[in-house]
A and B are shown apart, each in its own frame.
Chain A
Amino acid sequence: MARRLIYPLYQIGNPQLRIFRPPFSLTLVRPGKEQPQDTVQFRIPMEMTKCDVRNYLEKIYNVPVGAVRTRIQYCTNKKRNHLNQKVKRPDYKVAYVQLVEEKANLRFYLPCHAVTTGSILWVQQQTFEFPDIFTEKDVKSAEGSVEEMQEKFMEDEKQRQKPDLRRGGVTEWFGL
């Protein structure tokens, strides 16, 4: 399944192509440019289409998807390695996925989170914000252990290296 896959030819009237065990993996990325609140940005393999992305997210991740827009990012072939050979950075496809609320049939009943102002029905939009994964946690080492003594020593060293505040930012180079 990993090598170049050739899918059956489609002609009108053929059954819908179904892929069991899709070999495609999506990467959620933090958007480089500012995106609307409900947009999620993915890097997808080149072979996937907008419909594929929608089906993938809906079936595998149970995420209701509204609009999907894709573009192909061309990456440079200009860089050269230590042998002066041109090295190509691989291209990738980017998908911008907009999320919607699940309950789309608003005309028939009022969802609990929907608010009507006048004649227009407003529904709370799903928003997604890329989380900060690499926040450093404060690790307190056990008392009396070697790590604690080492940390204390390092802190003392740093304190010693700080300049004297009474000099008002003037360096030691200037005498007195």
Chain B
Amino acid sequence: MAATSVGRVLTLCRQFQNAFRISTSLAVQQSALTLTKSQSYLDRLTYPLLSSNWHCHVGQYRPLHTTISRRGLEEFFDIPENWGEPTVKSGAPWTAKQLRTKSNEDLHKLWYVLLKEKNMLLTIEQESKRQRIQMPSPERLKKIERSMKRLDTVVKEREDALRLLQTGQERARPGAWRKDIFGRVYWYRFREHALPWYMNKRYKRKRFYTPLFVTPHIRLRLEKHLRAKTRIQNKEREKQTVLQEKFPQMKAQSS
């Protein structure tokens, strides 16, 4: 993706990494310089930026917040330089491995960055449909969606780990193994109700037990399942014998 020269567009993630070196590292001046070099997404952020924000952060302290722009509804559109372009350059999506190196605050901010970008792309897509013109670089949407999904996965992993360590609970949402009317056992996930279950009419209609007259149906279903399983096994065995006859030197494949 970043095959072009250094001064050109960095990948989306690299730009963002540069942006967050401000909040994480102490070398604030260096990161301010790298900001001015990189293009594309940070251009959108810095345009029409009052760059006085960066000059005051000279010194070895962490700024309280890094709000860059207050452009409001303009953020639903791309930067005006990209209007009318047939293609817009964009970097690679974030991978889960890269996201796992980021802190929780960074992930939280990144989520909103990706969300705003997604809104912008959806706006452009809808407008292009209206005008009957091809949307410039539609692959950006997929990249954003994948990045957001991976971010979600990483956050879930962290939450799971924390919960396991603190409480020992494997699942976030409580549930239980229950039998439905047809005798099938499944994982029923609990919901929050305002009433106890014995006062809940709709819940009582659900019946988490199997009536006796369903037993013949269960036997037939079991028989069907076993027949299908044996059919597959027999087919596999026959196939192996036929192959052995055709190719005697073939080693017998283990199932």
Contact yes or no, B126 A27, CB < 8 A: yes
Per-position binary interface string of chain A over residues 18-42, scored 1 when its CB falls under 8 Å from any chain B CB and 0 otherwise? 0011100111111000000000100
Please classify the interface of chain A as helix (H, G, I), strand (E, B), loop, or mixed, using the class held by over half of its residues.
loop
Contact yes or no, B78 A26, CB < 8 A: no
Residues in B with CB closer than 8 Å to A137 are: 84-85
Contact yes or no, A6 B191, CB < 8 A: yes
B112: interface (CB < 8 Å): yes
* A118–B76 CA distance with the chains assembled, in angstroms: 39
Residues in B with CB closer than 8 Å to A62 are: 70, 72
Contact yes or no, B108 A28, CB < 8 A: no
Per-position binary interface string of chain B over residues 63-99, scored 1 when its CB falls under 8 Å from any chain A CB and 0 otherwise? 0000000101101111000011100000000000000
Residues in A with CB closer than 8 Å to B27 are: none
Residues in A with CB closer than 8 Å to B133 are: 134
Total interface residues on A, CB under 8 Å, equals 29
Residues in A with CB closer than 8 Å to B238 are: none
Contact yes or no, B76 A28, CB < 8 A: yes
A109: interface (CB < 8 Å): no
Q: Which of A28, A60, A132 contacts B123 (CB 8 A)?
A: A28
> What's the minimum C-beta distance from B200 to chain A, rounded to whole angstroms?
13
B interface, how many residues as a size bin? Answer: 35 or more
User: Across the A-B interface, how many residue pairs have beta carbons closer than 8 Å?
Assistant: 76
* A25/B127 contact (C-beta < 8 A), A20-B108, A63-B73, A134-B133 known: no
* A134/B115 contact (C-beta < 8 A), A8-B192, A21-B155, A27-B122 known: no
Q: Which of A1, A6, A30, A128 contacts B152 (CB 8 A)?
A: A1
Please classify the interface of chain B as helix (H, G, I), strand (E, B), loop, or mixed, using the class held by over half of its residues.
helix
Contact yes or no, A136 B108, CB < 8 A: no
Contact yes or no, A131 B193, CB < 8 A: no
Contact yes or no, B108 A21, CB < 8 A: yes
Contact yes or no, A43 B126, CB < 8 A: yes
Q: Which of A29, A40, A60, A135 contacts B116 (CB 8 A)?
A: A60
A120-156 interface (Cβ within 8 A of B): 128, 131-137
A130 nearest in chain B by CB position? B127
A17: interface (CB < 8 Å): no
Residues in B with CB closer than 8 Å to A131 are: 77, 83
Q: Which residues of B does A touch, CB under 8 Å?
A: 70, 72-73, 75-78, 83-85, 108, 111-112, 115-116, 118-119, 122-128, 130-131, 133, 149, 152, 155-156, 191-194
Given A21-B155, A131-B77: 14 more A-B contacts, CB < 8 Å: A1-B156, A9-B192, A9-B194, A21-B108, A21-B111, A21-B112, A25-B119, A28-B73, A28-B126, A29-B130, A43-B126, A133-B83, A134-B83, A134-B128
Closest 8 interchain pairs by CB?
Answer: A9-B192, A27-B122, A28-B76, A28-B123, A63-B72, A21-B111, A137-B84, A133-B83
